[in-house]
C-alpha cells in the first residue's frame, strides 16, 4: 500500500506544478501586454498634448499679429516627434483661419484642426 501512495503523491506534485506553471505564464503574459499598451497609450497622450500646445501657441500668435496674413506651412522636431503645422486663411469669412497640426513619430500620427477668428 505504501508504494501506491508514494507514486500517487509524485503524480499529484507533477500535476500541481504544471498547473502553477500554466497559471503563472498566463499572468505574466497579461502583465506584459498591459505594460505594452500602457506605454503606447502614454505616447499618444503626449502627442495629443503637444498638438494641443502648438494650436494654443499659434492661436495666440494670430491674435497678437505675429504671423501676418499669408498662409503658413512649417515643420519642426521636438524630442522624437515631428510637428507639422499649417495656417490657412478662410476667404469666405472675415479674419477666420484654419490651423492644422500634425504630430507624428515612427509609429503613430495625430492630426488636430482648429478654426480661429482673429480679435
Residues 21-70 have pLDDT tens digits of 999 999 999 999 999 899 888 889 999 999 999 999 888 888 887 777 67
Return the domain boundaries, the chain: 2-117
Q: Is the pTM higher than 0.85?
A: no
Q: Any idea of the CA torsion for 33, 35, 36, 41, to the nearest 10 degrees?
A: 120
Residues in the chain: 119
**80 to 1, 12, 46, 83, 107: CA distances (angstroms):** 70, 54, 11, 10, 11
What's the pLDDT tens digit per position in 58-96? 888 888 877 776 778 888 888 889 999 998 888 888 888
CA nearest neighbour of 43 among 102, 99, 100, 106: 106
Q: Which among 109, 108, 70 is positioned nearest to 87, based on CA atoms?
A: 70
- The grid cell for 23 is 497559471
Amino acid at each position: 500500500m505504501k508504494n501506491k501512495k508514494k507514486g500517487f503523491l509524485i503524480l499529484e506534485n507533477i500535476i500541481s506544478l504544471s498547473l502553477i506553471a500554466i497559471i503563472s505564464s498566463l499572468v505574466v503574459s497579461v502583465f506584459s501586454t498591459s505594460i505594452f499598451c500602457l506605454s503606447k497609450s502614454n505616447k499618444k497622450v503626449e502627442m495629443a498634448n503637444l498638438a494641443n500646445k502648438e494650436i494654443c501657441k499659434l492661436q495666440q500668435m494670430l491674435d497678437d499679429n505675429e504671423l501676418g496674413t499669408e498662409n503658413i506651412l512649417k515643420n519642426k522636431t521636438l524630442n522624437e516627434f515631428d510637428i507639422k503645422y499649417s495656417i490657412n486663411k478662410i476667404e469666405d469669412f472675415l479674419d477666420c483661419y484654419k490651423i492644422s497640426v500634425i504630430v507624428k513619430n515612427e509609429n503613430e500620427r495625430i492630426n488636430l484642426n482648429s478654426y480661429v477668428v482673429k480679435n
